[in-house]
């Protein structure tokens, strides 16, 4: 059974939602991202999304864009991100690690080569935000060959046709985009999220649904936990880590978010 699947099974038994935490590889501690990952995992996060920085991300808001730029300036590359994953595994991190980024760096690495290297480094899945399912068949094949799950996005604008297209490709979980827009912090969880999650569950049965984009506070996580299998927090963590450079503060924030996932 895949790490992601056993993770969601265990959470289900405990009646909790998953806390998914996003950080950009190499920001703010180039070469020591494994410490960040370990801190997040030890503080109770269930799944880690590790951002592979790209020069021209379309789905990211200002906070993660700026973080990506800092990481690129610090010399982060796709191979160095995979080194971070390996280092985290060596340090005993057991939670699923999902690589998140844009398609071009993966394409330039080589599709089959990247899938193999990611799996052997200890990654469990990928989310490639601009690889729409229309273009993803080959990537699905390459990933499946290496036991890597392919996570796709469903948005409030997604139609029945889109869900039908994602169904055969989806693995790990569905990333439900809570609002039209880019990543960033908002004051509330958007209305209609319960309906969207229900709609996804009906159309893509058997795959957990995690909600992201705009989720930053424990009360957002609590609201999402009532209707979905997990909540993704990104910009708030990235921003705080950048401002404080403190693993202690990071651990506290993650713990407070995790506490909100209990139903």
Partner 1 sequence: MSSLIQGTSFTSEPDARGHFGPFGGRFVPETLVPALDELARRYEEARTDPEFLAEFDRHLQEYVGRPTPLTFAENLTNELGGAKIYLKREDLCHTGAHKINNTIGQILLARKMGKPRIIAETGAGQHGVATATVCAKFGYQCCVYMGAEDVKRQRLNVFRMQLLGAEVRPVESGTKTLKDATNEALRDWVTNVADTHYIIGSVVGPHPYPAMVRDFQSVIGRETRAQMIERTGRLPDVVLACVGGGSNAMGMFHPFVSDESVRLIGVEAAGDGIGTERHAATLSLGRPGVLHGSLTYLLQDVHGQIAEAHSVSAGLDYPGVGPEHSSLKDRGRAEYAAVNDEEALDALQWVSRREGILPALETAHAFAELRKLAPTMSPDQTIVVCFSGRGDKDVEAVAERLGGFQL
Active site residue ranges: 49, 60
Q: Which helix (H) or strand (E) is 161 found in, with range?
A: helix 160-166
- Positive/negative CA dihedral, 31, 35, 38, 44: negative
Please, which residue, 8 or 109, has the CB nearer to partner 1?
109
Pair of tokens at residue 25: 């590889």
Q: Is residue 139 a contact point for partner 1 (CB under 8 A)?
A: no
Interface segment toward partner 1; rule CB under 8 A; list 38-46, 147-155, 220-228, 252-260? 147-155
Q: Is residue 156 a contact point for partner 1 (CB under 8 A)?
A: yes
Q: Is residue 109 a contact point for partner 1 (CB under 8 A)?
A: yes
Q: Is residue 103 a contact point for partner 1 (CB under 8 A)?
A: yes
CB of 197 to partner 1, least distance (A): 15
> Cα–Cα distance between 9 and 178 in angstroms, integer?
23
Q: Is residue 197 a contact point for partner 1 (CB under 8 A)?
A: no
Pair of tokens at residue 98: 């999902």
Q: Which helix (H) or strand (E) is 51 found in, with range?
A: strand 47-51
Q: Which of 22, 34, 152, 173 binds partner 1 (CB under 8 A)?
A: 152
Q: Which of 1, 13, 134, 187 binds partner 1 (CB under 8 A)?
A: 134
CB of 233 to partner 1, least distance (A): 19
Largest Cα–Cα separation, the chain: 45
Q: What are phi and psi of 47, to 5 degrees?
A: -145, 140
Q: Which of 44, 105, 190, 203 binds partner 1 (CB under 8 A)?
A: 105
Please, which residue, 108 or 226, has the CB nearer to partner 1?
108
Note the helical H segments in 91-157. Answer: 103-109, 111-121, 137-145
Q: Is residue 160 a contact point for partner 1 (CB under 8 A)?
A: no
CB of 261 to partner 1, least distance (A): 25
With CA atoms as reference, report the closest residue to 99 among 33, 44, 35.
33
164-183 residues in contact with partner 1 (CB under 8 A) are 177, 180-182
- Which residues are 176's β-sheet partners? 154, 211
> Cα–Cα distance between 178 and 173 in angstroms, integer?
15
Q: Is residue 30 a contact point for partner 1 (CB under 8 A)?
A: no
With CA atoms as reference, report the closest residue to 85 among 119, 44, 34.
34
Residues at the site binding partner 1, with contacts judged by CB under 8 A: 54-59, 61-62, 65, 69, 72, 77-78, 102-109, 129-132, 134-135, 152-159, 161-162, 177, 180-182
């Amino acid at each position: 059974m895949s790490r992601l699947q056993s993770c969601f099974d265990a959470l289900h038994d405990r009646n909790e939602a998953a806390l998914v935490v996003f950080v950009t590889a190499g920001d703010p501690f180039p070469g020591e991202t494994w410490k960040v990952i370990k801190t997040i995992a030890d503080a109770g996060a269930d799944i880690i999304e590790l951002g592979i920085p790209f020069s021209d991300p379309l789905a990211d808001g200002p906070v993660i864009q700026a973080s990506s730029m800092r990481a690129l300036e610090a010399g982060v590359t796709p191979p160095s991100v995979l080194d971070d994953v390996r280092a985290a595994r060596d340090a005993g991190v057991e939670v699923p690690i999902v690589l998140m980024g844009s398609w071009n760096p993966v394409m330039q690495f080589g599709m089959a080569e990247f899938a193999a290297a990611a799996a052997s480094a200890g990654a469990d899945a990928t989310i490639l935000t601009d690889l729409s399912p229309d273009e993803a068949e080959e990537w699905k094949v390459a990933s499946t060959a290496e036991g890597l799950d392919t996570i796709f996005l469903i948005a409030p604008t997604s139609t029945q046709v889109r869900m039908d297209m994602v169904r055969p490709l989806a693995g790990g979980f569905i990333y439900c985009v809570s609002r039209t827009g880019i990543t960033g912090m908002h004051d509330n969880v958007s209305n209609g999220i319960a309906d969207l999650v229900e709609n996804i569950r009906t159309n893509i049965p058997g795959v957990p649904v995690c909600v992201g984009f705009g989720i930053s506070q424990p009360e957002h996580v609590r609201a999402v936990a009532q209707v979905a299998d997990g909540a993704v927090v990104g910009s708030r963590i990235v921003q705080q880590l950048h401002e404080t450079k403190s693993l202690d503060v990071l651990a506290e924030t993650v713990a407070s978010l995790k506490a909100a996932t209990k139903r």
